[in-house]
Amino acid sequence: MNSADEEEESRPLYARVREQLIERIRSGAWKPGQLIPNEFEIAREFGVSQGTARKAISALAAEQLVHRRQGRGTFVVQHTPAHVLFRFFQLFEDAGAQIIPDSRRAVPVRAPANAAERAALGLDEGEQVIRIARTRLRHAKPFIVETIALPDALFPGLADLPELPNTLYDHFQKTYGVLVVRADERITAVAADKQAAAALELAEGTPLLRIDRTAYGLVDQPVEWRVSQCHLQNAYYLARLR
């Protein structure tokens, strides 16, 4: 037995089952919103105990790849605009209501990835990205200017769309089978430069919140790099710690 086989054998059995279940989601064998087999069926299929199967499914639920519905079973997570806003958009009005942003029309362009995009997305030199620059609105007024870079190889044809959806992550899943499962965000305070000030209709130097996000799909693959500059007048960023 070689070292790779020994390492595989040393891993918990539930983790090996979990990875095979994840592959079914990644490959599209299990579709968004689909009811998956229960723990008895998975235990029988993989030749493991019911407890091992339950632990593998619980791991998927903890990673928000599936969700349980009382009395109905366990389903593959399906991104919808409402789900995306709840999970990945953390800006709120001072009164506590979640901000529901709109966006002005943005045109995606395809271009060779620059050094920063290659570093964020794990791309090689010469690979292409889809770049999106857009302004997001709150109460019909601009409050976020953002730039987005996507690996072109993951999203064929996206750069040719005449109009982009307001929320991208549900489109990624439904059209390309790319499920965003987590995101890392780095938050800093910046002063609006000339370009950001013009887009947000502010004076140069106005304080902004800068959110630098890298979003990941299954198997921890970077699928998006997004930088948002936010004018948080009468609003705040909320971090949920669970």
E-assigned strand segments in the chain: 66-69, 73-76, 91-93, 102-103, 109-112, 128-138, 141-151, 182-191, 207-216, 222-230, 235-237
pLDDT tens for the chain, residues 1 to 242: 454 454 556 678 999 999 899 888 878 788 888 999 999 999 999 999 999 999 999 999 888 888 898 889 999 888 776 777 678 889 999 999 999 888 887 889 999 999 999 999 999 999 999 999 999 999 999 999 999 999 999 999 999 988 888 888 888 988 888 889 889 999 999 999 999 999 999 999 999 999 999 999 987 899 999 999 999 999 999 987 76
Whether the CB-CB separation of 73 and 84 falls below 8 Å is answered with no
Distance CA(161)–CA(114), nearest Å, equals: 23
Q: pTM for this one?
A: 0.81
Q: Is 226 exposed, middle or buried (0-12, 13-18, 19+ CB in 10 A)?
A: buried
Whether the CB-CB separation of 75 and 215 falls below 8 Å is answered with no
DSSP assignment of 192-235: --HHHHHHHT--TT-EEEEEEEEEE-GGG-EEEEEEEEE--TTE
Residue whose token pair is 């349980």: 68
pLDDT, position 6: 47
